[in-house]
Chains A and B, each alone.
Chain A
Amino acid sequence: MTPVALSVNRLCKSYSNGKEALKGISLSVPEGSFFALLGPNGAGKSTLINIMADTVVPTSGSIEFLGHDMFSERLWCKGNIGVVPQEVAFDPFFTPREVLSMVCGLYGQKPDMNWINDLLERLELAEYADKNTRQLSGGMRRRLLVAQALVHRPPLVVLDEPTAGVDVKLRRRLWYYMRELNASGTTILLTTHYLEEAEELCDHVAIIDRGNVITSSGMEKLLHEVAGSYLWLRYRDGWELGAADAEALSEFNPRMHEGQLCLTLNRMHLRQSTFHHAYESAMQRFGPPLDAGVCEEDLEDVFLRLTREEAV
């Protein structure tokens, strides 16, 4: 078994307004993994991350980080984590280079100028390194936050939507940079809404919704075991799925997606699914479709299906 970098145990958080953001979630993040924490808006992702950052106080539960109890050995843990918060923050009195040496100092380290220059270069901030942070665009400020989280070379880096509001090309480069960091041994935990990229680049995934973990496993395992296939059928334009039909086809978990009726195919025996049964049932009720096909679920489909099932 790979050693665990982070193990979250029955963590709960109720905000002062009574909102239960985390309802006892448990997760474990293997050392050296590139871990995607996914969930719809309001799922509790930021709450979990902010608890690690010590900007939110948990109601109960515990987190173990590299063998240290996070809440009783706070300073050690803080020194070994780098967090990129979801909300952009910047210090209006400093330049990016000054901010980075300062963060380094706060972590008790002598600023390593080579590493700082390298970070500024890789995060495409070199041109603005000595300008006031006020002059940075939103995307640059977010990249500065990423640099701030990396400057003390922590073994665990946690990023809350690092690629939100960053244009496509830059987003790619940012992803590959994180991939590289990961390859050199840094454990990375991130949240994102770009599921395609998460599927391509992350090796572990957890999906949370309304403060509960719905599933958590290796990416391949999830795609292999949880992802199924589905039958899609297209009828004339404006076709709707009635409530009675939905009821009758309930064993296939019917849903409309981009104007198509989608029916989940369950695996029965080896290499055989409920395809025929599903197709026949649809034919009986709606007649022949204009077009139809079978699709394998990707991460996004699994995500949508699981978070919707939760909602029911």
Chain B
Amino acid sequence: MNLRGTWTLFKRETHRFLKVNMQTVAAPALTAILYLIVFRYAMGDRQVPGMEVDYFTFLIPGLAMMTMLQNAFANTSSSIVIGKVMNVHIYLLMAPLSAIEMVIAFLAAAVLRAVIVATVFLLVLTPFVDLSIHHFGLVLVYGICGSIIMGGMGLIGGMWSENFDSMSMVNNFIILPLTFLSGVFYSIKQLPPLWQQASHFNPFFYLIDGFRHGFLGVGDSDPFLSIGIVAGFALATVLTCWHLWRIGWRLKE
């Protein structure tokens, strides 16, 4: 085990976002305020059908999770794509780190960024909305699994992309639709039956729903059953990353 090497790579991957406070603190704080203005004050305190919560309280955990997922994805994908464009990824290929050490360092940094950003986001909103946590364990498990999954997706997307264009294509055509259709903005009980069924095939649905369940104590699926699905998905993502890094997928000639 090259522990120091893994730690060094982890530090490198956190360096960029920790150095740029705009990304870690200001950006999530700003989105939080925007959501507050748009959804709280413009939409009023409508209730979510079938649940005993108002729309804004329902929305916030989902939005926090979405922010986490997007940040985890951004951290790994941008690092790999910038590395490829600037040709510095060869220094990772040359370093005496095994594939699993690489993947662990990348994902740990992605999770850290996701957690910091979500914390800032929620802290800004605490004065305006009741954020009592119903089940902290659920929040933690879903938050971390979600970040691992998206960090891993970012790693895979980054390896696949040749440049920033193809990266933003992955982002706009795969990641964005999946997050929007995951039930951040609605309860799937509001959907027609066909779409309700379809939602169950969207892994993001379980992530958002489980995370929200941790806060509100209510949701669209059984959160403890979904943990299996989410953890399995996280494991599959890690294994895929490990395999792809090992063969140098789209990184080595």
Contacts and interface: CB of A to CB of B under 8 A. Distances in A.
Interface in A3-41: 15-16
Contacts of B5: 105-108
Contact of A85 (B90, B92, B252): B90
A223 interface: no
A178 interface: no
Contacts of A110: 4
B4 A78 contact: no
Interface residues of B, number: 29
A128 interface: no
A87 B94 CA distance: 14
A89 B252 contact: no
A57 B252 contact: yes
A79 interface: yes
B87 A106 contact: no
Interface string B52-66: 000000000000000
Nearest to A152: B96
B91 A148 contact: yes
Contacts of A16: 253
B115 to A, nearest CB: 22
Interface stretch (A47-55, A180-188, A243-251, A289-297): A47-55
Interface string A93-128: 110000000110111111000000000000000000
B215 to A, nearest CB: 35
A176 B19 CA distance: 39
Q: Is the interface of A mostly helix, strand, loop or mixed?
A: loop
A105 B7 contact: yes
Nearest to B19: A93
Interface of B: 2-5, 7-9, 11-12, 15-16, 19, 82, 86-88, 90-98, 248, 251-253
Given A54-B94, A94-B15, A110-B4, 8 more contacts: A53-B90, A55-B251, A55-B252, A55-B253, A75-B98, A90-B86, A108-B5, A109-B4
18 contacts: A15-B253, A50-B253, A53-B93, A54-B248, A55-B94, A55-B252, A57-B252, A83-B94, A89-B87, A90-B86, A103-B95, A106-B9, A106-B91, A106-B95, A107-B5, A108-B2, A108-B96, A148-B91
